[in-house]
Structure 1
Amino acid sequence: MAVARGDRPAERVLRGGQVLSVFTREWLELDVAIFDGHVVGLGSYDAEQIDDCSGVHLVPGLIDGHVHLESSKLMPHEFARAVVPQGTTAVVADPHEIANVLGRRGVEWMLEASAGLPLDVYFMAPSCVPASPLESPLAPLTQADLSELLKHPRVIGLAEMMNYPGVIAGAEEELAKLGLASGHIDGHAPGVGGRRLNAYLAAGIRSDHESTTADEALEKLQLGMWVMLREASGARNLLDLLPIPMRYGPQRCLFCTDDREPDFIVREGHLNQMLRAAVAAGVPAEDALVMATLNPALYHRLPGLGAIAPGYQADILMLKDLTDFRPYRVLKRGAEPVFPDRAAPDWVRQTMHAAPVSASSFRVPAVAGKIRVLGVRDQQLLTTTEEMEPAVEGGCCVADPGRDLVKLAVVERHHASGRIGLGFATNVGLQRGAYASTVAHDAHNLIVMGVDDEDMALCVGRLAELGGGLVVAEAGRITGELALPVAGLMSDRPLAEVFSRLLDLQAQLARQGVRGRAPFMTLSFLGLTVIPELKLSDLGLVDVGSASLVPLVSD
């Protein structure tokens, strides 16, 4: 307060820049005085250090409203190293990926691993582990687990309530979870509208990041939901949703990346990529910045973040223009960020417990009539339910790359049960070999797709040796791999190396015929039983609409 009054000098003053007031969406020509990591005043100030910001736009650090850190395939400290230079200075993470693999203990490790970084990492307690009763994680996360997690000062609410059918139906177990969160609950309601959406909101849920059309987002906004505009590796929804803030303003809209792989971050950026795309589409820069700063702070009840104003944390980006949004300088708590290196303990790395498999493990006996097939959609998490005549060979249903019909399997990897769900998919393009991943939302069992059973078995065996990861096989040999030994989800290597290996894998898949911009991210969501329409888990084919297992043969 003494510095704010001008009775003593600030530690640092940013002078000569255009300062964004996110409250009025105007630019102020004022000094920014910084003391003890906070902005203490805007006006005319002196300091021990004065930074000349002439010709520079000063904006608050960006806040990701909903992200799964594990999907970056990077450990938290390496994720911070990747996104802070892009302008992201805070994130609100849902650690349900590691919770499915390692339970509450895994979430507690993520809290420890993300402490003290030049990136504020807040968490929401995972509400649905498993995502539905039709998936098999290590073990369910109980109400007692959630209660303990919610005691942590950086666990600020309940993460996305993915069992929306259960909430809408009034399931006592799900409603009891909602009562733990002091009213701060993220939603997950893909395609939900009308009375069902009313019921979901009546349960106390206040946000959603699953809208894929402007009409869907508008209905949710009209009913008072905070709408998260998502731009993820496997779900690029931003441009389809921008008509909402362009017509109605940025109120109750915020940006999130949800699941973004390293190649997307390196090539295009993080939240700053969303700013760039929004402004290029016609959104005023000030509105776009509010959706990436103030609004996520307001929604998530983070009063010290999201603005350059007295009492706010001095997370400040210096931009030379309002089109590219690549900061040439980032201040975190008033200083240049310093990134630590950290290692994962052995127990976090020992999570592969799949039973051995062989080519015969993927045998599908011949059936009469058409079969249900997952229709894959590029850059979308939604799938369709297709009906196709099976290809039959040697008394078995087999892949038929000539008709773009590939085999899909989910292998349980937490308890060595030997359980395998089998099905088929289309609109993938794979012509030869197989590829597999232990990143398989949300239970993160092992998911493998192929046109050759021998190569599928080879992929599974190699992932067991690696401790998890991504692999590609063709003609009886492994042609590429990326080890993810940290819970089978994250690498212990630097961003540049993970990026390079991922690019090599994607190039190999392209040579084998696979289409799409993010083939491994797309594969990983084919097992998520809470996003319509048809999915596959270790228990079998799942009709998401009816939340039930269905046979391979269509009616």
Structure 2
Amino acid sequence: MTFTRKPLADCVPELVATARGDQPATLVITGGKLVNVCSGEILDGMSVGVQGGRIAYVGKDVSHMIGEGTQVIDAGGKYMAPGLLDGHCHIESTQLTVTEFARAVLPLGTTGGFFDAHEIANVFGLKGIRLMLEEMRGTPLAAYMQVASCVPSTGPEFETTGAAIGPEEVAEAYTWGGDVIALGEVMNFPGVVYGDDKMLGEIQATLRAGRFVDGHFTWPSNDWRLPVYAAAGVTGDHECVTAEDVIERVRLGMYAKMRRGSAWHDVAKTITAHTEHGLDPRRMMLVTDDRSSESLRDEGHMDFVLRHAIAQGVKPVTAFQMATINTAERFGLARDIGSITPGSYADIILLDGNLADVNVVLTIAAGAVVAENGVMTASLPSYTYPQEVRSSVHLLKRPAAEDFLIPAPVSSGSLSTRVIKVRENHVETTELIMSLPVVDGHLEVGNGLCKIAVLERHKGTGNKSVGVVDGIGFHEPAAIAMTVAHDSHNVLVIGNDDELMAQAANAVADARGGVAVLTRNGTTLFPLAIAGLMSAEPFETAAEQSAAISKALYNAGCTLNYGFMTLSLLALAVIPTLRISDKGLVRISPEEGIQLVSLFV
């Protein structure tokens, strides 16, 4: 099945003729309750006429548009709402290819989104982004790509990536088409604030191309540098974890993105900027950021986020605005997506029962019925990634148990040691200083602590660092290794047994990427051969394998909510406070910025 999204200018004669009744509609929906996100109303007894991929008419009666070949859908009093839009999403975090992601979310009512492919960009640069863009264009989704801004997220002195993107590459990406819409989250916010030429150059290339700049500011909302960041042209930010974060961004003219990912539960607090503080919600957006295939299966996608927001006291129509028209307006696309209005793309969902339940029973994308009653009805073309992308793990040598020893500057005694403290359902960590014993010249890590290591996997440099982490919870000898390690996506290994850590690292290398959990009782493997990030399997299989990883972690004692998602961020060097990369421990603070720090204090 081919899905076409023509520019509005190319459709005007047919749309006008159809609206007049001189040309039959290709599809009409009759007798629905229209969720009008433009006016904030629910309108009974409404009908919609569609010509090709766009809406020609919205009104009480569309009988004049029905011809012999018109597909007629009787809404039967169900709600008709615009297809849901995800305003900030990393498809790679779902562990799915774009096609399988589309298969997973279209039945749930998501018909489009704004996708930042900075995961694959850190492995393959512009080539990776281009491949995902090409795959997107073969799906029914109203999919818009953002150009990864921070590859690497910090600088080569802090981490090793598989590629690099700068102002020239950003400018080139905007020549690929209008669906390359924005500069992805600018995580190097200190670089923007303090005038880094690369970061400012990327922003300037974006603005000159008439595109938008997305933000990622994790210093406190009352920090004087937030307005500095906004002055660079950053007009949207998803790093909102408190109501104050939302309030300050909205007051500066930004769109505040409130996320409910698998492990990032920020909506309950941030939504109070509207429900308790009374701010106008039209510059507030609901987003997912990162949701695993397992959570897509078990909880949902944007439909789940809407239900959650409504449960916090948001009016249903307002919640729908936060996932449709607000998102479209943020990216200057309200003419095309985000509402059921004449001229817009025909991305429409029917919902049964109470609107607050967000029970999607039919999805129309680009004027075609693609899913019904939770099941895809349209077939999607397959897409094959090149062999280079399916073989992206290049370690200098096979890891061994001794690679995870931590040499100490003394032969015995104890040392004050920096420890990464994991926080459940939060992206940030804290820094602990703990006194740990030294035996035979090596740091002893026990009493519930684990070792954490990063092995460079892009260029075969042999770079490696080993640190200490708290909050994993393993109650037996166990280890997890993964090639999903934001943002550089080297091999991240966590465990309390050096031999198991080595075996886990080798398991993911042999699988050409993925996640492996090892205990003395066996191995649980989730292969992610595409760039070491995405599964080559169908959505259903990937979700089962993702769930198996969660179960293996839980059985070993790691009870963190969607633990894999949280652990995969421990190498993300731009998020406070303490992280680890292949170059060592990285600390970020408002006072000192980003710096490498020693393991021993």
CA distance in 2, matches of 1:442, 1:478: 29
Most deviating of 516-525 and 135-144:
135-144
CA distance in 2, matches of 1:365, 1:115: 51
Partner of 2:185: 160
Contact 2:247-2:279 at 8 Å conserved across structures: no
2:113 counterpart SS class = strand
Deviation of the 1:192 alpha carbon: 4.0
What is the one-letter code of the residue matched to 2:212? H
Contact 1:458-1:478 at 8 Å conserved across structures: no
Partner of 1:45: 62
Asked if 1:33 corresponds to 2:49, the answer is yes
Partner of 2:25: 10
Deviation of the 1:340 alpha carbon: 2.5
2:145 counterpart SS class = strand
CA distance in 1, matches of 2:164, 2:53: 40
Partner of 1:453: 498
Q: 2:514 aligns with which of 469, 479, 483?
A: 469
TM-score by length of 1: 0.97
CA distance in 2, matches of 1:392, 1:323: 58
Contact 1:64-1:292 at 8 Å conserved across structures: yes
Partner of 2:600: 553
Contact 1:343-1:492 at 8 Å conserved across structures: no
CA distance in 1, matches of 2:104, 2:445: 39
Query: Which deviations, in whole Å up to 9, do the C-alpha atoms of 1:511-548 show, x marking residues without a partner?
Result: 11112111111111000011100000000000112200
Query: Which deviations, in whole Å up to 9, do the C-alpha atoms of 1:144-176 show, x marking residues without a partner?
Result: 211111112121121111100111111122111
Query: Which deviations, in whole Å up to 9, do the C-alpha atoms of 1:237-275 show, x marking residues without a partner?
Result: 111111123222321011111111011110110000011
Partner of 2:236: 207
Q: 1:112 aligns with which of 134, 155, 158?
A: 134
Partner of 1:226: 255
Contact 1:10-1:45 at 8 Å conserved across structures: no
Query: Which deviations, in whole Å up to 9, do the C-alpha atoms of 1:307-341 show, x marking residues without a partner?
Result: 00000011000001212212111111221122233
Q: 1:76 aligns with which of 98, 104, 126?
A: 98
Deviation of the 1:224 alpha carbon: 1.3
Residues 1:478 and 1:461: Cα distance change in structure 2 (over 3 Å): farther
TM-score by length of 2: 0.90
CA distance in 2, matches of 1:166, 1:434: 35
1:328 counterpart SS class = strand
Partner of 1:181: 206
Deviation of the 1:478 alpha carbon: 4.6
CA distance in 2, matches of 1:428, 1:282: 34
1:421 counterpart SS class = strand
Contact 1:543-1:549 at 8 Å conserved across structures: yes
Most deviating of 427-436 and 161-170:
427-436
Contact 1:191-1:211 at 8 Å conserved across structures: no
Partner of 1:528: 572
Partner of 1:256: 287
What is the one-letter code of the residue matched to 1:137? T
Aligned length in residues? 551
Partner of 1:372: 418
Gaps of 5+ in 2: 1-15, 371-377
Q: 2:524 aligns with which of 467, 480, 485?
A: 480
What is the one-letter code of the residue matched to 1:449? I
Query: Which deviations, in whole Å up to 9, do the C-alpha atoms of 1:279-314 show, x marking residues without a partner?
Result: 112110000000000011111122200000000011
Most deviating of 480-489 and 51-60:
51-60
Query: Which deviations, in whole Å up to 9, do the C-alpha atoms of 1:379-416 show, x marking residues without a partner?
Result: 1110001111114333311321x3x2110001100011
What does residue range 398-413 of structure 1 map to in structure 2 within 5 Å?
398-400=444-446, 402=447, 404-413=448-457
Contact 1:381-1:525 at 8 Å conserved across structures: yes
Partner of 1:496: 540
CA distance in 1, matches of 2:220, 2:381: 43
Partner of 2:487: 442
Partner of 2:338: 306
Asked if 1:266 corresponds to 2:316, the answer is no
Contact 2:292-2:546 at 8 Å conserved across structures: no
1:417 counterpart SS class = coil
Gaps of 5+ in 1: none
Partner of 1:363: 405
1:150 counterpart SS class = helix
Deviation of the 1:447 alpha carbon: 0.4
2:170 counterpart SS class = helix
1:527 counterpart SS class = coil
CA distance in 2, matches of 1:478, 1:223: 53
CA distance in 2, matches of 1:327, 1:222: 34
Partner of 1:276: 307
CA distance in 2, matches of 1:81, 1:521: 22
What does residue range 52-91 of structure 1 map to in structure 2 within 5 Å?
52-91=74-113
2:281 counterpart SS class = coil
1:206 counterpart SS class = strand
Asked if 1:171 corresponds to 2:216, the answer is no
Partner of 1:392: 438
Contact 1:399-1:452 at 8 Å conserved across structures: no
Asked if 1:149 corresponds to 2:140, the answer is no
CA distance in 1, matches of 2:272, 2:90: 26
CA distance in 2, matches of 1:442, 1:197: 23
Contact 2:415-2:438 at 8 Å conserved across structures: no
Deviation of the 1:203 alpha carbon: 0.8
Contact 1:64-1:256 at 8 Å conserved across structures: yes
Identity across the alignment (%): 37
Most deviating of 67-76 and 45-54:
45-54
Cα RMSD (Å):
1.3
Contact 1:471-1:478 at 8 Å conserved across structures: no
What is the one-letter code of the residue matched to 2:62? Y
